[in-house]
Structure 1
Amino acid sequence: MKKTAIILLAFGIVAIVVLAGCTQQQGGQQLVQYVCSNGTVVVDKNSCPVVPAGASQPIRELTVDEELSVCAGMPELQGTSFENTCITGLAAKLNDAELCKEVSSDQRTFCYSAVAEVAENPEVCLEAGTQKDQCYSAYAMNKDDALICDKITEVSLKDSCYSNFATKLGDTTLCDKIKTADQKNNCYYQIAQRLGDSSLCQKITNASMKDNCLQQTSRTQVGTPENK
């Protein structure tokens, strides 16, 4: 579904450009380019070849550079860069993470994770360089795959990944993998409250949190229909 949405978005953007043209900056001057029906990119839309009524014309596939030129100069509206969105869609469509380098640095993680998700290959995140952990984290969440958390090297981000899945799945074995004491304790606490299982409170190393956990779970157990 995500793959289809990304590709449809990219096609939608290209369709808009075909109709309205793409504005770029060249030598301080605005340059508007058009994509003809046969795939040719021109500056003057009147230069597009005329196709006689009823006749068909072979469509030439755009080169990667030509497709990138369509994305170039797209506007930014309400904080969303359509140029970045266009390039991300193109990268995902072509399964080419190298194109993510053309995206602004603050949006590259999304680009790499989009390519990885569409390709169903988390190893694409390795191409994200210093952003690979963020890419793995996004992939894990979007693909609902807790195993990807193991690939994250940055401790706090890995712990957050484990914690999110642990509380979501009620799986304390994921809490066991958390390195940060506070986050591990909180993980046990959240699942104990969710399941009403006081035995999980015993795993908490912080004394006050453990006591609070035991009190809360005992109230939950007293309030259950079986104990009334």
Structure 2
Amino acid sequence: MSSEHYTPAVNPLPPVVVALVVFIMGIELAFTLGSRGIVGGPSAVGWRLEALQSYAFSPDIFHWIIENGRWPFEHLIRFVTYPFVSGSFTQAIFVSVFVLAMGKMVAEVFGGIQMLIIFVLSGVGGALVYALLLNPQYPLVGGFPPVYGLIGAFTWLLWRKLSLVGENQSRAFSLIAVLMGIQLVFGLLFGGTSDWVADLGGFATGFGLSFFLSPGGWTRIVGRIRRD
């Protein structure tokens, strides 16, 4: 009998992408089921609020840290934890969909660990931009800033590809322009907060990190420095 290798029609998702989505949706399902009294008993109704108070990124707390020169771990960890605490089930679903789509493409090119670094540091970058450029009244919650970091890495891939074939590199930024335009329209029609600033900060962080974390990126940078 001749053996044939089976090639799946769709490439399997990188494990790190699956782990991120399971973590995000697992937390959200606990909040949702708890609020309906299905799990956790009476105290579970307040799980989301307690998590927001403990793990959301608070610009007020950040400015307090800067002013007092004190860096308690329970507040610094908010830079990393806020993307995993969604404000609603809908937000968690949208974040997960983007992580599946963008995370898969970035991880397949950059590698799983590099993709995770971009996700985490883009969340940090988005929070810093949010706190430093604005004086926001609302805490930052949900995974859109790191998701926009993945979009930034994907944009870098397009930007790099267009440069190699001699095409107009500005075309690579079409996706972020469309997404920002949609946010602007929704903000004008329905009102909203200034979270888009954090999203844009996450995008810029992801794009910038791609110069270092892309395959051979660090080698290219070192080579360019030596030539200069």
TM-score range, shorter chain: under 0.3
TM-score if structure 1 supplies the norm length?
0.25
- State the TM-score, normalizing by the size of structure 2: 0.25
- The one of the two structures with greater contact order (alpha-carbon pairs below 8 A, sep at least 6) is 2
**By percentage of residues, which structure has more helix?**
2
Q: Which has the larger radius of gyration?
A: 1
